[in-house]
């Protein structure tokens, strides 16, 4: 009868049933190359400021240690154009050693003699962390020689860098194919399982909440959500473009003039598919981005010298009621300029409403996740995605190169 998975395969390659996972591997004592996303913020002295992404890789490292595997760990950090001490992973190595309470060797180069000899002598449960992959020009563009050099360090390939899964870099894509034994780590497995539940067969009503500021990138996501969700709640900077597209004067608010027509197309598509797009009806505005002045104003009478900085309480109330009834919630993008306490109220209220929702709740996106932590509700959200761009691409139904490389 062969592989039982073939009996219930999905038409899409995206399903968690269709990528190779650690349980598909024969790990015992094997040397494992792990591509992680350790792209953490560093302070001026190279110390790790937020270790969420280091924490996220620990389950996979523990699993490999339990199987007596020596681990060669690799990641990028920031966007250096070449070797750059301010983007070194040395601080990550230090913090990781504390967290696993074990040995983390850091030869300080991406590939080379020191890495090779350290890898050869690496013992079970020890970790060798390579220097920032982006210090090497071969990380971009699928350089076969660079891929070969990384390949020679290990027997098995594991990718657990969900945050980078939408990029076709040498270490996230080309390298995978050089290993017969390759699989997703526990973090990617968890991400794919949670996000698949939203993409494939969400319990209804499915309410998607979208906000934030990266408007051009998010309109495509909104469009694909129209095919999946029952109701779209649009807030944050993103809502402004829709309000403007409907003809409202919104003063000095953040808006993408080039995208007004696209916003109209999206509203027409939603109407055609009988999906409701709920826009803010009231807002918290200010007269200067750097001022603490705040005014509560209906969106149809925004003064020309004001800008929308948060959703208003009437809008919050409607969004809350929609979220309370939802069986599935996906949230990306804050409702206002939440970094400033005077304009954080809408985002915090939505975070609490999502936490209180009894349905299956998922939050993705750098700032949205920060807002969830700020509101102290992280433990009441079913899944917090570690990948901003990657989770959006996944939800939109786009194929992720790193997952493609791990397909069964
Ligand atoms: P995420 O990281 O969650 O995907 P984005 O990166 O798209 O979200 O957007 C986050 C940013 O959006 C925040 O820094 C926030 O200040 C900004 N933002 C939210 N609402 C507004 C608004 N009305 N005007 C300007 N900026 C906004
Ligand atoms: Mg962001």
Mutate to test the pocket of ligand 1, among 302, 333, 354 (most ligand atoms within 8 A of CB): 333
Residue with the smallest CA separation from ligand 1 atom 15 is 337
Cβ of residue 125 lying under 6 Å from some atom of ligand 1: no
pLDDT at 17: 62
- The span from the CA of 278 to the CA of 207, in Å, is 11
Q: Give the pLDDT band of residue 229 (cuts 50, 70, 90).
A: very high
pLDDT at 281: 98
Report the pLDDT averaged over residues 199-228. 92
**Is there a cis peptide before residue 205, judged by omega within 30 degrees of 0?**
yes
Contact 332, 364 (CB under 8 A): yes
Contact 396, 198 (CB under 8 A): no
Cβ of residue 332 lying under 6 Å from some atom of ligand 1: yes
Chain length of the chain? 408
pLDDT at 111: 98
- pLDDT of residue 62 exceeding 70, the answer is yes
Report the pLDDT averaged over residues 46-52. 91
Number of H helices, E strands in the chain: 14, 15
Q: Which atom of ligand 1 approaches the CA of 332 most closely?
A: 3
Label residue 275 left, alpha or beta by phi (over 0 means left) and psi (-120 to 50 means alpha). Answer: beta
Strand ordering across the sheet containing 282-286: 295-298, 282-286, 307-311
pLDDT at 16: 56
Strand ordering across the sheet containing 156-159: 104-105, 127-129, 71-74, 32-35, 156-159, 182-184
User: Would you state the structure tokens that stand for residue 114, as one six-digit string?
Assistant: 């020191």
Active-site positions? 53, 214, 366, 389
Cβ of residue 306 lying under 6 Å from some atom of ligand 1: no
Mutate to test the pocket of ligand 1, among 221, 237, 280, 386 (most ligand atoms within 8 A of CB): 237
Instruction: Tell me which ligand sits closest to the C-alpha of residue 388.
Output: 1
Mutate to test the pocket of ligand 1, among 236, 335, 346 (most ligand atoms within 8 A of CB): 236
Model pLDDT for residues 144-192, shown as the tens digit of each residue: 999 999 999 999 999 999 999 999 999 999 999 999 999 999 999 999 9
- The span from the CA of 102 to the CA of 276, in Å, is 53
Model pLDDT for residues 76-90, shown as the tens digit of each residue: 999 999 999 999 999
Cβ of residue 212 lying under 6 Å from some atom of ligand 1: yes
Q: Write down the mean pLDDT value for the chain.
A: 93
Q: Give the pLDDT band of residue 39 (cuts 50, 70, 90).
A: very high
- pLDDT of residue 1 exceeding 60, the answer is no
Which helix or strand (DSSP H or E) is residue 158 part of?
A: strand 156-159
> Is the pTM of the predicted complex or chain greater than 0.75?
yes
Contact 188, 216 (CB under 8 A): no
What DSSP letter does each residue of 233-279 carry, written as one string? EE-HHHHHHHHHHTT---TT----GGGHHHHHHHHHHHHHTT-EEE-
Cβ of residue 387 lying under 6 Å from some atom of ligand 1: no
């Amino acid at each position: 009868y062969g592989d039982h998975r073939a009996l219930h395969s999905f038409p899409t390659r995206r399903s968690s049933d269709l990528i190779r996972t650690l349980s598909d591997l024969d790990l015992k004592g094997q040397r494992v190359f792990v591509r992680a996303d350790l792209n953490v913020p560093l302070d001026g002295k190279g110390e790790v400021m937020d270790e969420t992404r280091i924490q996220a890789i620990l389950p996979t490292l523990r699993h490999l240690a339990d199987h007596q595997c020596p681990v060669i760990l690799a990641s990028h950090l920031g966007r250096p154009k070449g070797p750059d001490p301010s983007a070194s992973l040395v601080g990550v190595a230090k913090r990781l050693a504390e967290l696993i309470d074990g040995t983390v060797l850091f030869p300080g180069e991406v590939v080379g003699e020191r890495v090779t000899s350290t890898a050869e002598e690496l013992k079970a449960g020890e970790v060798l962390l390579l220097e920032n992959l982006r210090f090497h020009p071969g990380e971009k563009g699928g350089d076969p020689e660079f891929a070969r050099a990384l390949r020679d360090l290990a027997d098995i390939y594991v990718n657990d860098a969900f945050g980078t899964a939408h990029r076709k870099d040498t270490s996230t894509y080309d390298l995978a194919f050089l290993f017969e034994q390759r699989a997703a780590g526990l973090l990617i497995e968890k991400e794919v399982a949670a996000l698949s539940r939203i993409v494939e067969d969400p319990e209804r009503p499915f309410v998607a909440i979208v906000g934030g500021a990266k408007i051009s990138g998010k309109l495509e996501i909104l469009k694909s959500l129209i095919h999946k969700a029952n109701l779209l709640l649009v807030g944050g900077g993103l809502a402004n473009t829709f309000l403007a597209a409907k003809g409202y004067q919104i003063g000095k608010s953040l808006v993408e003039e080039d995208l007004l027509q696209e916003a109209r197309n999206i509203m027409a598509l939603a109407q055609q598919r009988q999906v409701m797009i709920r826009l803010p009806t009231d807002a918290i505005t200010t007269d200067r981005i750097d001022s603490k002045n705040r005014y509560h104003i209906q969106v149809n009478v925004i003064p020309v010298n004001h800008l929308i900085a948060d959703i208003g309480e009437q809008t919050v109330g409607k969004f809350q009621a929609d979220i309370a009834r939802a069986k599935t919630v996906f949230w990306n993008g804050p409702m206002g300029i939440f970094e400033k306490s005077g304009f954080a109220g809408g985002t915090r209220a939505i975070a609490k409403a999502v936490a209180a929702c009894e349905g299956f709740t998922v939050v993705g996106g750098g700032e949205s996740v920060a807002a969830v932590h700020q509101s102290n509700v992280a433990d009441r959200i079913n899944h917090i995605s570690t990948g901003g761009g990657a989770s959006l691409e996944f939800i939109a139904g786009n194929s992720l190169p790193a997952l493609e490389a791990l397909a069964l």
